Structure 1
Amino acid sequence: MKYKKKSLKQSVIVKDTKAPEVVLPADIEILQGTDLTTFNFKSLMNISDLSETSIEIDTSKVDMNAAGQYDFNVTVKDKYNNVSKKTGKVTIIAKPVINNNEEVVHETVENKDGTTSVKTKVQKKQSSNTNRTSNNSSSNNSNSSGSSNTSGGSSSETHKGSLTVEMDPKYHWEGDHSYGDGAEINGEDFDKLTGGDWKNWDY
């Protein structure tokens, strides 16, 4: 501050005295025999703070070999040593019979009182999308990989049932429609060739 010929400097110290906010599910279902050291508790918690936080989870009271409900303790500390402690609950349930094509997933559901719980269920494995393989060595020696590349450009797009075509300037193919050097092809003929569903392909 300055007043006439006098000046004054005043230091202002801003301190973080607010503890982290921690919200836990009302209950977390875990399959009997699960290795708790690999179970991702943190992904099921809602933690907020104005600075970096560290999380400690104590599951020493949980018996993974016996079905039942147990308490576990969570300690969240921020970089200014503000601490929040919470107690959560886990329910150990008997492991169901799981077929080779099934997997165990955790689903968060909302309770009537507004809290959430994490339920365990068995569902069929999500199959990864695989693109059709097409090899027409007699006509164009093309390799299918689910994307379309042209040697004249740098862009690449992925379409269901599409075909990767490496263009050769010397390449020439003749079929139901005649194409010039560079093997340009329209969407309709592309679909006939690959069995795909690329209906509006501009070349």
Structure 2
Amino acid sequence: MNIKYLTSKKNKIIAMCVVVIIACGTGVVFAIRDTSPGLRLKKDKFTIEYGKHFNPTFNELVNTKDLNVEDIHYLQHNVKIKSNVKNEVETVINQDGTTSEKDKGYAKVGDYKITLTYKNKDITVAVKVKDTVAPELTIPENVEIVQGTDLATFDFKSLITATDLAQLNDVQIDHSTVDVNNPAEYTAKASIEDINKNKTEKEFKITVVATDSNVEITTQIVTDPATGQRKSVVTTKPKINTTTSSSSSTNNGNSSNNSSNSGSSKPSTGGSTSSSTGGSSGGSTSGNTGGSTGGGNSGNTGGSTGGNTGGGSERPKPTTTHWIKCKLCGLLIESNVSLDDAFDKLKSKKCEVDGYIYEGITAHSSYSYGSRQN
């Protein structure tokens, strides 16, 4: 019998009342019953979800219903609890480059036990930590790709966010129903599993966008400003139109030369007329002077000057103006450099319609364009 338990007046009286006097032969035998409280458990098995804190204390393990304060106090001081439930730790890298272990605050998946020792007897409570929560998987509802894209190398992982307490395996993409050579809308499936075999699957759309010989078309990964979710979109911009023009200065030069040649015959005529009128000596001098000097110089000057002048005064080359106009806000941009330059200038401008501002990929998303010669 535990003597300490008889220290209170109430318990002494109870102990005395249970003394049994048994007459046996010639003597008397006294028997005293141990009246210390018995140990009862709330449950003999606990199932804990992975990630939940569990602290195997006296109050969580021992059933104290219908016990008075003294009995409860007695059990608290005489029941020994030992547990092998230990919290999981993770290795973290410190700022100085060293590593240390950090307590996660919950036990890893597995089987544990708690031992309660009372009156030299052991009672075991089983504890099972299990993971039943599937990973969270976030993926865009629609993924746009250009016709002919190789899905085996397409970066789906950059579009997907997966979270879980447990370690995750790689994301798996099932795109077996998608025909990348046939523009249309298809259904694909993404799945992910953690190391505890919990799996999440989600369906999403893959839209194959047809190529166009008149525009440059590419697939881009962008972030939706409204949700912060990354997604794949197909963007287009007009191709550069190259226009060549040529002019011939040779014909203009020949035309001028011909004109000069026609004019150079006039001095010859003038010289001949002056020779017959002025007499022998005068005609010879005047004729030679007029024919040689006037006609020769005039002819040479006319031919040379006319030819050179005609060849140098060619018409300026025509210039090409490229333009692009947003169908949403009506903004018109022109460029003498290239159609790409006009497109880039348009994208740098605000796209506003009746006070509403289109942003991101929606800005100037519909437009017409062309080129003209001036």
Shift of 1:6: 2.8
Q: CA deviation at 1:69?
A: 1.1
Which deviations, in whole Å up to 9, do the C-alpha atoms of 1:147-176 show, x marking residues without a partner? Answer: xxxxxxxxxxxxxxxxxxxxxxxxxxxxxx
Aligned to 2:192: 76
Matching of residues 55-94 of structure 1 within 5 Å: 55-94=171-210
How big is the shift at 1:105? 2.3
Distance 1:86 1:26, change over 3 A: same
Q: Which has the higher contact order (CA 8 A, sep 6+)?
A: 1
8 Å CA contact 1:110, 1:117 repeated in 2: no
Please list the CA deviations of residues 29-69 of structure 1 after superposition, one character each: whole Å capped at 9, or x if unmatched.
11111100001112101211122223221101111011121
Partners in 2 of 1:107 and 1:120 — Cα distance? 10
Identify the range of structure 1 (103-112 vs 12-21) with the bigger mean alpha-carbon deviation. 103-112
Q: Provide the identity percentage.
A: 36
Q: Normalized against structure 2, the TM-score is what?
A: 0.29
Which residue of 1 is the match for residue 149 of structure 2? 34
The code of the aligned residue for 1:31 comes to V
Distance in 2 separating the partners of 1:93 and 1:111: 24
Q: The residue matched to 1:11 in structure 2 has which SS?
A: strand
- Structure that is richer in helix per residue: 2
Q: What count of residue pairs does the alignment treat as equivalent?
A: 119
- Secondary structure, aligned partner of 1:8: strand
SS at match of 1:62: coil
| 1:14 partner SS | strand
CA contact (8 A) 1:110 1:116 kept: no
Does residue 23 of the first structure (1) align with residue 138 of the second (2)? yes
The 2-side partners of 1:110 and 1:70 are apart by 26
Q: Does 2:234 match 1:120? A: yes
Q: Match of 2:131, as an amino acid?
A: D
2:118 corresponds to 1:11? no
User: Following the alignment from structure 2 to structure 1, what is the Cα–Cα distance between the partners of residues 166 and 176?
Assistant: 28
SS of residue matched to 1:43: helix
Q: TM-score, normalised by structure 1?
A: 0.50
Change (3 A) 1:66 1:94: same
Q: Which runs of 5+ in 2 are unaligned?
A: 1-115, 238-374
Q: Is the 8 A contact 2:135 2:162 kept in 1?
A: yes
